[in-house]
């Protein structure tokens, strides 16, 4: 099935795409059919910069448990940052 | 019948006169034949969509697949274009109808066209095939597991589609529907609602619901592929087009 479930948010930072580094301005997160992964559905993240065209994109397709582990690792890492660096 | 074929990227005129990219495949047999507009799935104008388009040409039809995401991402790879279209809320219905109309007109302009046109769509394209058949004067339509014909998308999603089952009364041609019994988008209950709407409107339709198959059972490079359902589905399509796109 197509879930179509999509979350979009603004982000600030950089990503490395097919043509090198670029500033990312937006992210979309959705659970749907992957393009490359073999599972029927994956948690997909696109870090994009629409002002630079559709190819300015860093894409991830992760199985649900991997995506959750990654999210928890990100939060755990952020929680350990000294207050002065946040 | 000759099995020679030509396939290439072309430019057609879409909604509001916009030039858009399309993939054309045509049998070189020379016998007047029907045209098939292939509506790609949500992952976009990709290798699978082009392969399906060539398959129709291999069976003697004129076939074309318009790139519905061309405006968002001209020249981009299919997956990047699909991501851009998704982030933008998907393809608006009026634009879709205009692009399919442009593709149909393009096919009708060929000397090898017999003037008859069908649409076929997969996944989101299934809904769009039904929408096109309710909005344009065509000769046949195939809906392969199109979601959101009957039920709206879950709340909070950025895609801009509404249920269109109320358009059944405007259906201009016979409709072939191919669905998986284990699919939830559309669920068998939703398919039953569409079937009832078509019956109430006095429309000609033929639905097949495959046990053991879910969404995207035609898709050979996914684990959702169900060869028995796909094989029977393709046979139904050939019989349906043989009946509806023939001038005999």
* Gap between the Cα atoms of A46 and B44, Å rounded: 16
pLDDT at B224 over 70: yes
Token look-up 């429309």 returns: B203
**Spans of all domains in chain A:** 5-85
Positions of E strands within chain B: 5-13, 19-27, 33-39, 62-66, 113-122, 140-144, 175-180, 205-210
User: Which residue in the block uniquely carries the two structure tokens 């099935």?
Assistant: A1
A28: which chain B residues are within 8 Å (Cβ-Cβ)? 83, 86-87
Q: Where are the domains of chain B?
A: 5-244
DSSP 8-state code for residue A75: H
> How high is the pLDDT of residue B155?
67
Give me the pLDDT at residue B181, please.
97
Crossing angle between the packed helical segments B124-135 and B93-108, to the nearest 10 degrees: 70
| pLDDT value, residue A73 | 96
Confidence check: pLDDT of A2 > 90:
no
Residue B235: is its pLDDT beyond 90? yes
Q: Could you give the ipTM of this predicted complex?
A: 0.73
Neighbour-count burial of B108, counting CB atoms closer than 10 A to its CB (0-12 exposed, 13-18 middle, 19+ buried): middle
Q: Once rounded to an integer, what is the mean pLDDT over residues B166-188?
A: 96
Residue A55 and residue B158: Cβ atoms within 8 Å? no
Residues 6+ apart with CB under 8 A from B149: B126, B127, B130, B143, B163, B164, B165, B186, B190, B194
What CATH number belongs to B5-244?
Answer: 3.40.50.1820
Note whether B216 contacts A33, CB cutoff 8 Å: yes
Which residues in chain A have their CB less than 8 angstroms from residue B124's CB? 2
> Residue B205 and residue B142: Cα distance in Å, rounded?
10
- Give pLDDT, residue B70: 96
Residue B73 tokens read as: 């991402």
Mean pLDDT (whole number) for B99-112: 97
- β-strand pairing of B140-144 with B113-122: parallel
For B17-71, the pLDDT digits (tens) are 999 999 999 999 888 999 999 999 988 899 999 999 999 999 999 999 999 999 9
Sign of the CA dihedral running B88, B125, B106, B54: positive
- Give B89's pLDDT tier (boundaries 50, 70, 90): confident
Other Cβ atoms closer than 10 A to B228: 12
What pLDDT, in 10s, does the model give residues A19-52?
899 999 999 999 988 888 988 889 999 999 999 9
Determine contact: B98 vs chain A, CB below 8 A: no
B21 touches chain A (CB under 8 A): no
Q: Which of B219, B79, B128, B144 is nearest to A34 (CA)?
A: B79
CA dihedral B47, B48, B53, B59 (to 10 degrees): 120
Average pLDDT in the A46-62 region? Answer: 95
A53 to chain B: which residues are within 8 Å by CB?
A: 73, 76
CB A64 within 8 A of CB A38: no
Please identify every residue of B annotated as catalytic.
123, 183, 215
């Amino acid at each position: 099935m197509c879930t179509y479930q999509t979350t979009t948010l603004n982000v600030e930072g950089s990503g490395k795409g097919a043509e090198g580094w670029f500033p990312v301005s937006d992210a979309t997160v959705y659970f749907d059919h992957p393009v490359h992964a073999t599972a029927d559905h994956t948690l997909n993240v696109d870090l994009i910069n629409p002002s630079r065209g559709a190819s300015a994109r860093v894409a991830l397709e992760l199985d649900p448990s991997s995506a959750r582990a990654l999210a928890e690792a990100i939060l755990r890492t952020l929680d350990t940052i000294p207050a002065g660096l946040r | 019948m000759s099995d020679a074929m030509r396939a290439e990227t072309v430019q057609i005129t879409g909604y509001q006169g916009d030039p858009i990219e399309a993939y054309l495949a045509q049998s070189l047999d020379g016998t007047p034949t029907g045209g098939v507009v292939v509506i790609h799935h949500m992952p976009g104008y990709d290798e699978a969509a082009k392969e399906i388009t060539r398959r129709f040409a291999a069976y003697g039809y004129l076939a074309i697949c318009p790139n519905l995401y061309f405006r968002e991402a001209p020249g981009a790879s299919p997956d990047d274009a699909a991501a851009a279209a998704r982030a933008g809320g998907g393809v608006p219905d009026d634009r879709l109808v205009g692009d399919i109309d442009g593709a149909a007109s393009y096919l009708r302009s060929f000397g090898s066209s017999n003037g008859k046109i069908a649409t076929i769509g997969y996944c989101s394209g299934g809904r769009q095939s039904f929408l096109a058949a309710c909005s344009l004067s065509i000769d046949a339509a195939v809906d392969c597991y199109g979601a959101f014909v009957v039920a709206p998308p879950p709340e909070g999603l950025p895609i801009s589609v509404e249920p269109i089952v109320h358009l059944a009364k405007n259906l201009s041609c016979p409709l072939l529907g191919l669905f998986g019994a284990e699919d939830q988008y559309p669920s068998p209950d939703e398919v039953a609602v569409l079937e009832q709407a078509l019956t109430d409107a006095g429309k000609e339709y033929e639905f097949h619901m495959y046990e053991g198959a879910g969404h995207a059972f035609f898709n050979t490079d996914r684990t959702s592929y169900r060869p028995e359902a796909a094989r029977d589905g393709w046979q139904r399509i050939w019989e349906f087009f043989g009946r509806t796109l023939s001038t005999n």
